[in-house]
Amino acid sequence: MSDYPYEITPTEGERLTEVIKDWSLAHGLTVRPPPAIVPAEADPAGILATAVPVTLFPSPFPRICFDQAIAVQGAYNELYASISQDDTFLAHIVKEIGDSDDFITELWKVHLRVKEEGYVQHKSLGLFRSDYMVHQDITGSPPQIKQVEFNTIAASFGGLSSQTSLLHKYLSLTEYLLLENRTQSGSLQLPRNESAAGLAAGIRHAFIEYGLPSTPYQKCVIFLVQGGERNIFDQRHLEYELQALQEPQIPVFRLPFSETLQHTALAENPGRQLLYRPPQSPSHTFEVAVVYMRCGYGPSDYPDQSAWEARYHLERSAAIKCPTVLTQVAGTKKVQQVLATPETPSNPSVLPRYLSRDSTSIFDLMKTFTNIYPLDETEAGLRARKIASDPELCKGYVLKPQREGGGNNIYRSSIPPFLKSIPESHWPSYILMELITPPPVKNTILRNGKLEHGGVICELGIYGTCVWDQQSRAILHNEQAGYLLRTKGDQSEEGGVAAGFGCMDSCTLV
């Protein structure tokens, strides 16, 4: 594989551009066009779609790392299901983050209000994604994966990722065979990737676990979404997977989060069933079995108090939430830091509290952690404050607030001046994480019809689905659900595809 990814001629680049563009549009590997490409006024009816940025070739990824990430997903699902059940621990986390973080403070208030009156739904659905980069240390030992973050809310790209794997598979059977510089040194090892079907299967499980409706109405699933979503086809693929099922038939509706209170109501009985009336068909009512949130993860989704009322309204309803407030808080970077802070005799790991599994799986989880430190006044926190304020040491770190969705982190030399610019009392709401530096890989990215060739950094995400009962603590369903490979130019710090820096990719295992 030494000639991989293949060197291509300009003519071959043009040919691949044509083929990928058409395949992507034909198979829904698409987004709504970014305003820089098609200004809103040029498409007032919103009829256009454009191909998602992708790599021309699947990036080489160490098989041993891929297998490690797949193998540990079941334990991660269980870990986050268990943490979601421990509201004492999560209350402590929220306290540590502190009231300087209004968003987490408001979110926690929603849980406290519902706890006070009593939850009517004890089952929970997690559609998780654990993100990793390959870490290779200088000793020459085999590469390992290190976790970047664990997502418990609105983990995206599962709908597009299986399509990307199919695109690269198609190219490997057609176009790659015709490339001039391709030696016959071996075929690509492309793992199966059924992320869209896998995530849909998780939602289906929760739909069945909800049981029979308690009102005269038929059950449904709601995708709770942001207005003006550009990454809509990613979500549509999941909807179509769910709707294609014969048994049970699942009605699926998209509801903008901002219209929650307008189109849903709670049944007037102690069961608090969530009732949905589709605005296009007001004579129909559905009992909502599952609310799948592709929104609600950041402050911009809560512009006013009525948005928080909407979240409270959903949280107290009988619908199975993906996620609940508890599971959303379990996904904060602060929790990840507490799990990953190096153990000391006075500060043992919390992992054994949350895993029924043997010590091997705890050890396997620990192997995926990189050092993460608090910025509080504990011993570890004080050490981290030194690193974060030092103009040299800070270069190996990233500073993260308790936010999701990309674009919020502070990297390397920007850390010391940033910390100086905020009150010291706010520092504990951040965590300090060692940067993972994956081995260099080359690839070509096709973005908006143009090719960008060069060094890239790959980030692997493994999807997991989990249904559990908060009260009985039983895990009712626990599956690994396919993967995502996101690739960015090695000059870019952030990797979000929707944010415009990264692109979709798939793995060829080496």
Write the DSSP string, 280-340. T-TT--EEEEEEEESS-SSGGG--SHHHHHHHHHHHTSSSEEES-HHHHHHTSHHHHHHHH
SS3 86: coil
Q: Give least dist CB 74 to Mg ion, A.
A: 21
Residue 389 a catalytic site member: no
180 backbone φψ class: left, alpha, beta (φ>0; ψ -120 to 50): alpha
Q: Is the backbone peptide bond immediately before 248 cis, with ω within 30 degrees of 0?
A: yes
**For residues 101 and 404, which CB has a smaller minimum distance to ligand ADP in the complex?**
404
Binding residues for Mg ion, rule: CB under 5 A, are 149
**For residues 149 and 376, which CB has a smaller minimum distance to Mg ion in the complex?**
149
Residue 117 a catalytic site member: no
Q: Compose the 74-93 pattern: x for residues touching ligand ADP by CB under 6 A, - for all others.
A: --------------------
Sign of CA dihedral 406, 411, 416, 417: negative
List beta partners, residue 31. Answer: 50
SS3 216: coil
User: Of 252, 325, 432, 433, which lies in the binding site for ligand ADP, with binding defined by CB under 6 A?
Assistant: 433
Q: Give least dist CB 486 to Mg ion, A.
A: 9
**For residues 123 and 333, which CB has a smaller minimum distance to Mg ion in the complex?**
333
Find the catalytic residue in 24, 59, 123, 129: 129
Footprint on residues 103-132 left by ligand ADP (CB under 6 A) = 131
Residue 151 a catalytic site member: yes
Q: Give least dist CB 423 to ligand ADP, A.
A: 23
Neighbours of 430 (CB within 10 A): 29
Distance between CA atoms of 368 and 365, rounded to whole angstroms?
Answer: 5
User: Of 494, 500, 509, 510, which lies in the binding site for ligand ADP, with binding defined by CB under 6 A?
Assistant: 494
Binding partner of 433, given Mg ion, ligand ADP, none, CB within 5-8 angstroms per partner class: ligand ADP
Output the six-digit token pair for 337: 């830091």
CA 502 to each of CA 41, 48, 214, 405, 487: distance values in angstroms, whole numbers, following the listed order: 26, 21, 45, 13, 5
List beta partners, residue 210. Answer: none
# residues near ligand ADP by CB under 6 A: 17
User: Of 15, 406, 418, 447, which lies in the binding site for ligand ADP, with binding defined by CB under 6 A?
Assistant: 406
Q: Give least dist CB 171 to ligand ADP, A.
A: 25
Residue 130 a catalytic site member: no
Which residues are tagged catalytic? 129, 149, 151, 156, 333, 400, 404-405, 486
Give contact residues for ligand ADP (rule: CB under 6 A). Answer: 131, 133, 148-149, 398, 400, 404-406, 408-409, 433, 435-436, 459, 494-495
